[in-house]
């Protein structure tokens, strides 16, 4: 019994350590990832330095901020200034990670992303939930990518945990609810 307890404790500690290291990695990198090279990138809320770096390296032309405008906050004013300094269009669209996305919101988002100059950088605060859903919408609804790759955008790899008991599960429900509109056939 003591040996079994040691194995369980060590296994749990190992999982916690790996999760902690990955969390540090995502913070250090701004949770920045390529979704479709030359078209779509995703991240947590970027700093001015990250915007400059990603603009130079990836040619970002549009930023879609899913937190909406927050002119009273320093982070937002810095983002506006950095986007302007680099000739990047900043589009603000307020989306809640705890509420299901409506059909109207889906159409608005698809319209924004269809008409935005590419490459686009999508971000929310952590780059996990809202960013994951909107990236999935782009993959399936605009780029014509596979259901598997679209749903991959909503996984722990990006910091999103798709568990029904979590409030952020609204993102998973939203993707499932709009699959037909996104061109994903019924399974």
User: What does 47-66 look like in DSSP terms, one character per residue?
Assistant: PHHHHHHHHHHH---EEEET
pLDDT greater than 70 at residue 15: no
What's CA 107's distance to the chain center, in Å? 18
The pLDDT > 70 percentage for the chain reads 87
Both ends of the chain: CA-CA distance in Å? 45
Reading the block at residue 102, the tokens are 């409506």
Q: CA of 36: how far to CAs of 33, 62, 145, 153, 164, in Å?
A: 9, 14, 10, 11, 28
* Among 92, 94, 75, residue whose Cα is nearest residue 30: 75
pLDDT averaged over the chain?
91
Q: What is the DSSP letter of 120?
A: E
pLDDT digits over 165-184, tens only?
A: 999 999 999 999 999 999 99
Residue 89 parent element (H or E): strand 89-92
What whole-number distance in Å separates Cα of residue 153 and Cα of residue 63? 18
Residues 71 and 18: their CA atoms lie apart, in Å, by 37
The model's pTM is 0.87
Q: How far is CA 108 from CA 58, 67, 125, 127, 180, in A?
A: 25, 15, 20, 20, 17
Kindly give the pairing relationship between strand 62-65 and strand 33-36. unpaired
pLDDT by residue (tens digit) across 107-147? 999 999 999 999 999 999 999 999 999 999 999 999 999 99
């Amino acid at each position: 019994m003591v040996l079994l307890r040691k194995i369980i404790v060590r296994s749990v500690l190992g999982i916690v350590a790996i999760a902690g290291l990955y969390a540090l990695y995502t913070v250090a990198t701004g949770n920045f990832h390529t979704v479709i090279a030359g078209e779509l990138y995703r991240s947590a809320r970027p700093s001015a330095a990250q915007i400059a770096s990603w603009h130079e390296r990836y040619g970002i032309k549009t930023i879609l901020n899913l937190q909406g405008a927050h002119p009273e906050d320093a982070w937002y004013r810095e983002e506006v200034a950095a986007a302007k300094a680099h000739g990047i269009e900043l589009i603000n669209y307020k989306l809640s990670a705890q509420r299901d996305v409506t059909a109207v919101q889906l159409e608005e988002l698809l319209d924004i992303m269809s008409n935005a100059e590419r490459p686009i950088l999508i971000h929310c605060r952590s780059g996990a939930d809202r960013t994951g859903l909107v990236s999935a919408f782009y993959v399936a609804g605009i780029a014509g990518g596979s259901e598997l790759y679209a749903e991959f955008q909503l996984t722990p790899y990006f910091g999103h945990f798709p568990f029904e008991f979590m409030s952020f599960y609204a993102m998973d429900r939203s993707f499932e609810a709009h699959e037909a509109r996104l061109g994903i056939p019924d399974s």
